[in-house]
Structure 1
Amino acid sequence: MSASPFEHPFLSGLLGDADMAPFFSVEADVGAMLAFETALARAEAAEGIVPAAAAHRIIDALAGFEPDLAALQAGVARDGVVIPDLVRQLRAAVGDEAAGFVHLGATSQDVIDTGLALRLKPALALLGRRLDAVVGALDALQARDGAIEVMGHTRMQAAIPVPAARKIASWRDPLARHRTRLDAVAAGVAILHFGGAAGTLEKLGDKAGAVTRRLADLLDLAPVDRPRHSERDGVAELASWLSFVTGSLGKMGQDVALAAQSEVGEIRLSGGGGSSAMPHKVNPVGAETLVTLARFNATLLSGMHQSLVHENERSGAAWTLEWMLLPQMVMAASTALRHARALVGQVAFRPLENGAVGAPARDARS
């Protein structure tokens, strides 16, 4: 056991994802926050709020900046958020009069939420590519095995024969719908968070709108009419989507595990896990992992919905809850898609023997 199985030295072999993990590394986190501060200096200089010389000094200093992580850790323990000590370090690195222009008009949540948006964009693009790969693999499975007649089951009992295509479609089609929804979900989180202390950008005066537009353009994020510091529907919708994806994959995993049972044998798996005590076994590890990750994300989703309750203009409690839950949900979805792609490649449907498997129940009521 460990606090994070996604990063554990050996549990990560099952639950980790080397392609997704870098988006949630400390390097990516710091890099995204520095990208915000650099772009802010550029945008404010373009609007005459920050002197050009000061902006250049900020940009140069941040380009090679390496934070004191121990000091950041101590700062978070004290302040509950990383930005106060990060800004202190940035101002020390910039030095002279230019230091006073670092982070001008912004607040901690602007930097952290925008930094998250910058990291979620490529993370969601990766999930989209993996969804495409799983759907494509299921299309290939259907083309090969779709006409094979297998037993349909209702309420865990043999019902009537159905084509394998019927089962494959119940795995594929929800994933295709989730893929269609992804663009809207991604648009809901790929936004600029910029509002200053209480969402009014009061320090920028009549230049607030122009700076916001320039900043959004520099970061390739969508500007919004007002900051969404306490409006968390975007990240909650993402969490719901992540749970939809893992839930649909979990349904596929459960079906495969049941059909591959020795006593059933409707599906043959070309690969699986071994047993330390029973060498004859081939355990459906990939299928089981899909079920686990579906249940994991379904559990965390309720916590993300709790984080919708932000009191007034900003909540420390609800915000911190997001930090704890959302990265794990993204990792779980990415890992599930990785396992799903491999699992589909291992599946082969077996035709019914003598027209039936088991004895269908006499009462076919659903």
Structure 2
Amino acid sequence: MYTRLFQDPFTSPALRQLLSAESYMRSMLEVELQLVRVQEEDGQWPQGTAQQLREALEGVPLLDYEVLAGIGLGGNVAIPFVKHIRECLPAGLKRCLHYGPTSQDIVDTALMLELRKALLWFERKGEALEGHLRQLVEQHRHTLMIGRTLMQQALPITFGLKAAGWLQAVRQANRRLQGLKAELLQLQFGGAAGTLAALGADGLSTYDRLAQALDLAAPAMPWHTNRQSMHALFTALDAQAVSVEKIAGDIALMAQTEVGEVAEPAGEGMGESSSMPHKRNPVRCALIHGATRQIHGLVTTHLNNAAHPHERALGGWHTEWSTLYEAMLLLGGALEQAEILLAGLEVFPARMRANLYTTQGVIMAEPVSLELAQRMPRDLAMAAVKKATKVALTEQIGFTEALYRDELIQAALSRDELEQLAAPESYLGATQGFIDRVLAQTS
């Protein structure tokens, strides 16, 4: 009940299927079978042993009640799993299975096989988000809106520039996550204490060849209690969560009734209230926020358990399993919601322009002050503009009119010059250049 009611709505159905318990068990089995094959090639087992094992286990249920019950007894899934599949083998094959590795070798290496699939899935989702954001940037690079700092109106920008900021952050997070592949997708194979002593002189050869068989990197040594790559993975997942949380947060604020600059994609029943028929709630933004904020907590849990003692952790390693999977599933849900949100985002340029004049145009005080400071002492210029700003807000008149009432300003600047300085589109600085640079980086 818990997962279906309170967790699944925030996660990705597609990723839940891709990273299922059954899939993980198949990955563990593949690690075990490839190890037997490598050992067979070294002459440790008779020719055909690996194939016989594969055939004997074909169709055997890998996840049953005994395996699930045994996890709590052994402390990890590999112990009851190996016991279960060994019981399904003929007597002559039992001894060949799981010769040399420790449980963590199987658990961690199977995780790498699963992560390879997950990283590809995240890469495709990230590319889709970048595509939708590029479209927004290109379509609205000249759409004027107000820039806001400390939640207050600041200076004019364009919606394209805001979307370019979203695009740059998403791109950085995507590249960071995908850049982990070489560091992350590594074999874990060290035996009981990280020495492969059970394999004797064949240890290093088996180590390298098993990595090759599984298409994983062979690190210099086992990493049972060196969780640097996992640390990098958790923080990279969090960075991607932050990038979409930022987008959802901005959109939710821009979609407030009093602001009305954007709206989530409409749909039957989407965003409806149980008691207020007029409401259209930003539900996708809420789901993204709900997912990403959980991710931050899960990452914190990992960070507090990332230093593992001695040659095998007591609890730190065990803490990774559920936190990592939950973080990935939640991130998958956030990315899917963000993709739908951006693909169908409704943008209202007229409302954006109207909001530029909510404060009678006093947002243009900076360019007027800078120009006046070229023609009179700076303190006089600042004081005159500040006085005009107060007049505009108090009397609810246009900023240009309030400026022109001031004799000092009138003597320094013509009405045409003031109107030009007070025009929002005249004070966009390097906006188009920044947009071009972001688009060039993400092409």
Q: TM-score range by the shorter chain?
A: over 0.9
- For 2:122, what is the secondary structure of its paired residue? helix
**Is 1:350 aligned to residue 374 of structure 2?**
no
State the shift of 1:65 in Å: 2.4
Max radius of gyration: which structure?
2
Query: 2 CA distance for matches of 1:216 and 1:62?
Result: 23
Give the secondary-structure state (helix, strand or coil) at the position aligned to 1:52: coil
What CA distance in whole angstroms lies between the structure 2 residues aligned with 1:11 and 1:68?
A: 22
Q: Distance in 1 between matches of 2:300 and 2:157?
A: 36
The separation in 2 between residues aligned to 1:195 and 1:64, in whole angstroms, is: 30
Query: Which residue, out of 106, 113, 118, partners 1:111?
Result: 106
Question: Where in structure 1 do 4 or more consecutive aligned residues deviate above 4 Å?
Answer: 360-364
**1:172-211, aligned counterparts within 5 Å?**
172-211=167-206
Length-normalised TM-score, structure 1:
0.92
In the alignment, the residues of structure 1 paired with residue 363 and residue 157 of structure 2 have an alpha-carbon distance, to the nearest angstrom, of: 16
* Distance across 2 between alignment mates of 1:265 and 1:61: 64
Structure 1 equivalent of residue 246 of structure 2: 251
Q: Give the whole-Å Cα distance in 2 for the aligned partners of 1:291 and 1:53.
A: 53
Aligned residue in 1 for 2:314: 316
**Which residue of the partner structure matches residue 331 of structure 1?**
329
Query: Cα distance 1:343–1:308, how it changes in 2: closer, same or farther (>3 A)?
Result: same
Larger mean CA deviation between 300-309 and 33-42 belongs to: 300-309
Classify the secondary structure of the residue corresponding to 1:150.
strand
Give distance in 1, aligned partners of 2:86 and 2:40: 17
Give the superposition deviation at 1:176.
0.8
Secondary structure, counterpart of 2:65 in structure 1: helix
1:51 to 36, 42, 46: 46
Question: CA offsets, 1:253-307, max 9 Å, x none?
Answer: 0100001111011223332511111111111111222222222111111111122
Q: Which residue in the other structure is 2:277 paired with?
A: 279
> Which position in structure 1 is the counterpart of 2:232?
237
What's the TM-score, normalizing by structure 2? 0.77
Unpaired runs of 5+ residues, structure 2, are 367-443
User: What amino acid sits opposite 1:338 in the alignment?
Assistant: E
SS in 1 for 2:148: strand
Q: Could you give the per-residue CA deviations for residues 138-158 of structure 1, whole angstroms, max 9, x where no partner exists?
A: 101111122100111011111
Q: Give the Cα–Cα distance (whole angstroms) in 2 for the partners of residues 73 and 179 of structure 1.
A: 35
Q: What SS is found at the alignment partner of 1:19?
A: helix
Q: 1:86 aligns with which of 81, 88, 94?
A: 81
Q: Whose relative contact order is higher, 1 or 2, with alpha carbons under 8 Å and at least 6 apart?
A: 1
Match of 1:265 in 2: 260
| 1:172-224 deviations in Å (ceiling 9; x for gaps) | 10111122223322222211111111111111122112212221122111111
Quick one: distance in 2 between partners of 1:291 and 1:11? 13
In the alignment of these two chains, the number of paired residues is 359
Q: Which amino acid aligns with 2:206?
A: V
In structure 2, C-alpha distance between the alignment counterparts of 1:53 and 1:164, rounded to whole Å: 64
Q: Which range is displaced more, 291-300 or 32-41?
A: 291-300
Aligned identity (percent) is 30
- What is the rounded CA distance, in whole Å, between the counterparts of 2:165 and 2:75 in structure 1? 45
- What is the aligned partner in structure 1 of residue 291 from structure 2? 293
CA contact 1:190–1:221 (8 Å) conserved in 2: yes
Question: Post-superposition shift, 1:355?
Answer: 7.1
Distance 1:87 1:321, change over 3 A: same
Partner of residue 157 from structure 1, selected from 152, 172, 179? 152
- Cα distance in 2, alignment partners of residues 166 and 354 from structure 1: 18
CA separation of 1:139 and 1:36: change in aligned 2, threshold 3 A = same
Q: 1:72 aligns with which of 51, 67, 87?
A: 67
The answer for the alignment partner of 2:29 in structure 1 is 34
| Aligned-partner Cα distance in 2 for 1:328–1:27 | 16
Q: Distance in 2 between matches of 1:134 and 1:53?
A: 48
Query: Contact (CA 8 Å) 2:37, 2:49: kept in 1 or not?
Result: no
Q: CA RMSD in A?
A: 2.0
Q: 1:85 to 1:353 in 2, by over 3 A?
A: closer
Could you tell me which residue of structure 1 aligns to residue 207 of structure 2? 212
